[in-house]
Every structure is written in C-alpha cells, then in structure tokens.
Structure 1
C-alpha cells in the first residue's frame, strides 16, 4: 500500500504542470492511449518525443526502411552507429529512454504492406500519426482508419514548409477551456436560493466591518433591485461607500456580471443536430447528455443551461464567501440531479431498442453507463461544448468533391500572391510529381532545373482540375520547392512536432479545441494559415 501511495505522489510531482492543464482525468486518458507513428521521419520522432515526455501510454512505430546517413543528419533519435539498421527499432530504443512510464514497440514493415496484409493491425490504436507518406499510401491509410473511426493526424516537414492535417469523423469536446468566459452568476435571472441569501443580508443595518466584508455579488444584486424599483441608471458611484474594496469590486465587475444569461449559439446548433434529435443504440454518451441537457433547457431550465456553480474570488469574510459558494453549488447540484434523471430515462429507453446494425449483436447495456461524475462535468461545461467534424482525404483529393470555394478564395485573387496557401498547392504538386516519377523533385542536384519544368506541369494539372488559372503560381515558388529537394530541416520538424503533439493530446484527452482541419507553416515568413479543406 505504501509503495502504491509513493508511485501516485511521484507521478503527481512528475506531471505536475500538465495536470494543471488537463487534470487527473485528462492524464488518465493520455496514459491509456496507444499511438501509432508511421515512418521514422524527423518530424515523426519530434511528435513522439513531445507525447512520451508527458506520459502517453504506449507507442508503436511502423517503418520498413533502414537508417541512412541523411536520417542521422536531421534526426536526433537516430545515431551514426545505427546506420544500416532498422529505423523503427533504432528510434524506438532511443525514444523509450525518455520516460520509463511509457512502453514502446516497433514493426519493421512498410505501412503499404501492413495495410494490405494485416488491416486489423491499426484497429487497436487511439490515434495514428502519418509522416512523409506519398498520396496513394495516405489515401489507403485514411480509408482504412475511417472505417474504424480512428483519428488520423498527417504531418509533414518539407524544406521551410510545415504541414498538418487532422482527419476525424467526429470529435466531441466537453472541456474546451475557453480563453475568456463570463461567470455564470444569473443576476439577471436570480434563482430562489440566491434571492433568499441576498435578502437575508441587510446592508443598511450592518456595521462598517460587516459592510466591507459582504461579497460584491450581493452588493450588485441589491443595487440592481434598487435600480429596478427606481427605474434609474447610475453611471457613477453615487450612493456607494468610499474606500471599501468590495464596493470597488462591485463597480468594476458590474458590466460583466450583468451580461444577459443566454444560450450560446454553438450549443443551440448541437440541440438541432440530427445526432441529438435521433438517438439510437449506436449513439455516444456525448449525444445522450446533449439530449438530456436540451430537455432540461426546454423545461426546468426555462431556456437556460444548468448553472455552472462557480463564483470568482472576491473580497469578503470567509463565512459569507463560503455561504455564497454553497448557494451556487446547491443550485448547480439541483440542476445536475434533474439532468441525471433525464439521462437515466434516455439510457433505459435506448437499452430497450433493437440495435441498428446488421451484425446480430445484442444492444449495448446503456443503463447507468454514464457515470454521475461525467454528468456533473458535462453540466458544468455545457456552455462550452464543441463538436469537430472533418472531411476525409478522399473528398479533399478528389477535384469533384474538393472544397473549391475555399481554394478559390485563396488563389483566385491576384492580390493573394503572398498567401501561404500556395504551399499547400505546391505540396500537392510534389505528391503528383512523386506519383509519376517515383521520386521527389530536386533530390538530385544535376536535375533541379529539369525538375522545375516537370513540377510546374504537375502543379498546373492540379490547378486545371480545380478550374483555376494554371499559371496562377509564380515560377519563383516552383524553383524554391525544387531547391528543397524534399529535405527535412530539424528546426522546422521540431516546430511542427511540438504543434502536432499538442493537437494529438487534444484529441486523446478530448480537451481544448483542435484546429480545423489543415495547417500550413511558412518558416520563411514565420507565418501560418489554417484552412478547412
């Protein structure tokens, strides 16, 4: 028992900073995750490094190539002594040294062979990260993972250009951690507990000490009632005691405290989503909870979400502050109790339904499958719920289903010559070049000039398929891409590796909002662009 307690304490000390970001439950999700990296590239090992250090559960590297001198030159996790050995094995051994809590494995096989020979291999992973895959292999991997609803993170470092793409059918976020959010105080819609507590305090009859230790929420409520009675707005501190910090706080906070309580538009969209309206035996717990909250809003909530139940720090004596906390906590608990009853009823109704699939499988046992803790967490964060859905790569790469409106917006205007989207087009051209010539442009110094012409043709074919001007990409950009020779620069790989690991952790922990859905980094200008393709 003592040893177990020591391990828990050591982990809390070891992961202290990140626990403050995503909490124990986020860390638990990370530690139970199994991540697959396809190809030992510089950017790939940088991504894994930044996931191993915070304690991802396990990782597996898939790569059938041997370590070359070029690999050693740009990858800190491959050494000169490992030249000629398996890249997957060598990288796994060095990466595993970063954290004893993480287990690493490797498969000395190319992704292409593995997809065709053993497609079920990828089913056990929480997330697959693909680096430096050609277009054909990438589309095959995307198709395989899409059928199994496994998220795919595509990353690339190409000269001075970085690229990331998230492919995921549906990603739900409960704890989105908004940068700024108004407190949920309900002073414009006071609930009975709050009214009773505020009315129990008589500011006029208090002595100076009690007066100055009253929470500012009570002060704002009292003066709001006076304003309602007199139908008069005071824009100064007339009538407020001087030199009392709690009254100063009330003045400073009144504008944000009286922001009207309303339904966020993003949450309203979720209520109208078919996944919320049409629950069945395949519905996820997220949508069951959304439905329960919607029913609460439509009935007991009177068009308002469950109370968040938190109050900000403020000048007040401990007794009154704790009393005010109990007022908000009590109302929040009541709201959670109502939502919990609705969740249990929905679970029971779903458990009685026949499964919608045709595999002759029994329906899931939905009864009480959503924990009370999860329901409480959901209600607390109900105002910040988000759903992320991205298009598949097959849709993006097919000119008939590509997002031509977004593409044209970036390339159709002559004033957009400096738009970083041009590098997305060039990377697509590079892949088309590779598909035709089985190598990347510029890899051989004596063929760079010839490759410029051939890459230009590849880019023009893509633009033509999109219905855009085939000459809209300047020759200078073509020359620059050929000059890169498909080289991975470690500084660029390190930057993209850090950014990609951050997005991967968002997906695994289901906290914070990932980018949607394509990210392009231009190191020459230190600029970046996010587009939905």
Structure 2
C-alpha cells in the first residue's frame, strides 16, 4: 500500500539517496549465506540486516564458548553451550522485522560434497574462519557459478577481506569527478537552433542577467572559434583568455560600472568543466572489445546485450558520442529558460534511448526482458560502465601477483606484509591444526615455526630475502594475539565488508577487487590486487 511505501521510504531514507528505489528493491530480494559465526561475520550481517537485505541463512554447527560470548554482541553469555547459529539468528532478526532469517547446523564440507547446489540460490556468500582446504573447495564451486564469495575475518589488530568474483558488471558506478554532459563542443541540432534564436543584445536588463550560463558559453565559444580558425580553447592559457572574454560580456550601466550579473560569473567559472570533448572512455573501449560484447546470444546477460547495443550506437553514429545523459546542473537562470533547456536535453536523451533500444530489439527488449527503466539507466551511465574481474582463489595460491611482490620489495613496512603473515598463519594451521600463540607455553616455539612458514612461502614466490628484511615484530605480534578477535576491529571490518556486499548485490559503486587489509595498530589500510 501507499502508506506502507511511505513508512519504508522514511525508514530507509538515507540509503535510498545512495542507491535509489531500484537499488533497495534488489537489496530486498537478495539472499545471503553466512558461513561460521564470529564477531566479524555477525557484524557484517548486522550491517546488511539494518538496511533491509531480503533474507539470510547462517551455516554453523559450533556451540557457544565463553570466549565466543565475550567478544560477540550477538552471542549471549547465558546461552553458552547452545548452537551459535541459532542464538545469532534470533538476536540478529530483532534488528529489522522486514528481514527473514534461518540457520542450519549442517557441516560445510559435507554440504559441499553431497549437496553443492545448496549454494546456488544465494546472491552472495560470506565466509569467516575457514581452513585453506575448505576455502579452496567452496571458492572453486562458487567461481563455477559466478556467485560472489566475500571472505572476511579479524586476527588481533589486523582485518582481512577477500572478494572473489569471476565477473561483476557495474552500470551505476557513481564516479566522484564526473563532468556534466552538456555537448557544447559538439552540440546537437536542437540545442544549436534554440541558442541561435536567442539574441543577447536585444534583451532587457533582467533578461540579460538571467540567461543560463550554458547559452552564454555557447555564444562566446562561437565567437572564439570564428577568431581562431574553428578551434575551441584547449590549453590553460587559452581558457584563461576565454574566461576573460566571457566576463567582458557583463553589461556596463550608465555610470560606467559593470552590472551585477551572476550568470556571467558562473559561466566563467564553468569553462573548464563545461567545455569537455565527447570521447569514448578507456574503460568503455575495453568493454566494447570484450569477447562477451562482440558475441551476443540469448544466453548473454542484460549488461552485455546493452553493451552490444551501445557499441552499435557509437559505430553507426558519431564515433565519439555516447547517448546524451539528459540532465542539467543547477544554474543561475529564470525558470522559463531553464525549463526550455531542460526539455531540449531530455528530448534528445529520449531519442538516443530509442535509437539504442532499436539496436537491441532482437535480444529481449521487445519480450520484456529489458525494462525501459533499465535501458534508460544504462544510457545515462554509459560513460561510467565498469566490468570487475578478480583472479580465482586457486590462481592466487598458485602464483603470487606481481603487484604484491612489487609492494613487498619496494616498501619494507608495507601493510602488504600482513597479507604474507595471514597466509603463513593458514599454513601454520594446516601443519599443526591450531593457530600460533593460542597456547601461552608454546609461544617461543610458535615464533620459530611461523618464521619457517614465512621462509617457505616467500621462497616459493621468488623473494627469499624478504624474511630477513622483515622485522621480527610482525611474527611476534601474530603469536602474541593468538588468533583473538578484538571487537573494535571486527566491528570496523563488518562495516567495510557489508559495504562491499551491498555493492555486489545492487551492482552500484565499484567493489574492491582482491584483498583489503586493515592495520589496527596504525589505523592504516591497503587494497591488494592478488
């Protein structure tokens, strides 16, 4: 009902401003599977339940210990001995009545062996505290079905997150520094016709001071081109001269003083951002060259069908122009002029959408597979499309990425060293079935064993001297914390990981690819392309 919609808009008001109604709808249809209840994993789930994720299932057969209850707000001390998954589910569901949740105590390895299709119904899988063998098995299965896996945990003061996704296509990447799409350097006929119909000289004082800056810039641009062989101002020096000419357009009153015309000042300030050439961004050119864009079939996803239509749009029209976005920025203007301009841009954008739709008619636009809204959003964001692909977990473990090796060699105290240490902790666990430092009496011997793990790993990567160059402090710190989860670090990582999961669900904003390491000792972090 309308009343219910109003309540929902009020409840989720702030996040709707980030990802819109359509993003919220996708979030509310999402199904999350959480593997293993830890302080970090429940924080992630909390941050997905509050904005209204559709449903979740917790997979964990473990029972609550005193240590669990001590560092996890969603495991009550009075429930020691009970199932972690059951208690966590009950407490998490109290956060948001819109969200459905369930749990199972089935063993993950048995599920992977006997019922691997169990995982195919989930939008994203979140895992914490997995051993290497199980992690690889799970990652290989999800990779095959292109289901994103987000592995996240905290280890003492260090937070770790790894996003594994074979392919993730982003339409609405929301770039921070996007220019407005005004087309002043290559205007379309309807815009030229409207601006040419305006005569600045014949305007009265009020009209002249309310001409939109877009019109002013176009008029002065034509005058500049006439004096400079048809060329627009290109470098800083020319643009500075052009700005001065624009400001000279302010009228002089009977006292020989310039009138107060804010629109001309605004026009001068907007020169650098408004006079931008239309061109195909590099990221979009890569998408056009992608095999998935070139070879479209009924099995192609909506993104690649639309990308193929966009490629045809560019090839069959002006080779450098994308569909017009159709939006105008706020500007100093009278309402009538602004609305006229707005309608001109909207009409042209609609024409471009119709043209692109005609190119994809054979692949679902007609039979309802692609909605008008989806096509419109794609056209509006054509400049900002992104395709994210990570390496698989097996590739990461077989060959260290060059970016990590370069970071380790060039920076002695890079946070990338913590990635090495956590990889060595995994090896330590594989060798000894426990984490280093969990037994106070064995700390000294664990330090030696962990150093051996570091030597083995770095030797296999071809950087054998790294362990000597590395401070002993790293190994000592790992053994000192004894795999303890500190709630403040778990809480921070819960926020970071939930944000990335929402990016994956909504296909908005660009997720981190690879590994993210948080160093709580220094309050620094690093993203590594693994």
Q: What TM-score, normalized by structure 2, do the two folds share? A: 0.94
Tell me, what secondary structure is at the counterpart of 1:185? coil
Q: Which moved more, 1:118-127 or 1:59-68?
A: 118-127
Change (3 A) 1:368 1:102: closer
Query: Residue 352 of structure 1 corresponds to which residue in structure 2?
Result: none
- Aligned partner of 2:349 among 332, 336, 340: 332
The answer to whether structure 1 residue 107 and structure 2 residue 124 are counterparts is no
Query: Residue 359 of structure 1 corresponds to which residue in structure 2?
Result: none
Query: Residue 363 of structure 1 corresponds to which residue in structure 2?
Result: none
Residues 170, 387 of structure 1: 8 Å contact kept: yes
The answer to whether structure 1 residue 269 and structure 2 residue 286 are counterparts is yes
The answer to whether structure 1 residue 521 and structure 2 residue 513 are counterparts is no
- Aligned partner of 2:81 among 71, 81, 84: 84
- Aligned partner of 2:425 among 424, 430, 435: 430
User: What CA distance in whole angstroms lies between the structure 1 residues aligned with 2:11 and 2:249?
Assistant: 53
Query: Residue 238 of structure 1 corresponds to which residue in structure 2?
Result: 248
Following superposition of structure 1 onto structure 2, how do residues 400-479 of structure 1 map, counting pairs within 5 Å? 401-403=399-401, 405-413=402-410, 416-469=411-464, 471-472=467-468, 473-479=470-476
User: What CA distance in whole angstroms lies between the structure 2 residues aligned with 1:370 and 1:514?
Assistant: 24
Residues 115, 141 of structure 1: 8 Å contact kept: yes
Query: Residue 66 of structure 2 corresponds to which residue in structure 1?
Result: 69
User: What CA distance in whole angstroms lies between the structure 1 residues aligned with 2:72 and 2:122?
Assistant: 25
Alpha-carbon shift at residue 445 of structure 1 (Å): 0.8
Alpha-carbon shift at residue 373 of structure 1 (Å): 1.4
Q: What TM-score, normalized by structure 1, do the two folds share? A: 0.93
Following superposition of structure 1 onto structure 2, how do residues 184-263 of structure 1 map, counting pairs within 5 Å? 184-231=181-228, 233-236=241-244, 237-241=247-251, 242=258, 243-263=260-280
Residues 65, 110 of structure 1: 8 Å contact kept: no
Q: How many residues are aligned here?
A: 508
Alpha-carbon shift at residue 322 of structure 1 (Å): 0.4
Query: Residue 390 of structure 1 corresponds to which residue in structure 2?
Result: 390
Report Cα offsets for 1:238-277 as digits up to 9, x if no partner: 2333310111111111121112221111111111111111
- What stretches of structure 2 of length at least 5 have no aligned partner? 229-237, 252-257
Change (3 A) 1:465 1:302: closer
- Aligned partner of 2:159 among 127, 147, 162: 162
Tell me, what secondary structure is at the counterpart of 1:105? strand
Alpha-carbon shift at residue 5 of structure 1 (Å): 1.9
The answer to whether structure 1 residue 504 and structure 2 residue 501 are counterparts is yes
- Aligned partner of 2:481 among 463, 469, 484: 484
- Aligned partner of 1:291 among 305, 308, 330: 308
Alpha-carbon shift at residue 370 of structure 1 (Å): 1.2
User: What CA distance in whole angstroms lies between the structure 1 residues aligned with 2:133 and 2:3?
Assistant: 50
Query: Residue 313 of structure 1 corresponds to which residue in structure 2?
Result: 330
Report Cα offsets for 1:315-337 as digits up to 9, x if no partner: 11111100000010011111111
**Structure 1 moving runs of 4+ over 6 Å:** none
User: What CA distance in whole angstroms lies between the structure 2 residues aligned with 1:152 and 1:288?
Assistant: 25
Let me know the Cα RMSD of the aligned residues.
Answer: 1.4
Residues 164, 513 of structure 2: 8 Å contact kept: no
Alpha-carbon shift at residue 303 of structure 1 (Å): 2.1
Residues 404, 529 of structure 2: 8 Å contact kept: no
- Aligned partner of 2:176 among 179, 189, 192: 179
Tell me, what secondary structure is at the counterpart of 2:321? coil
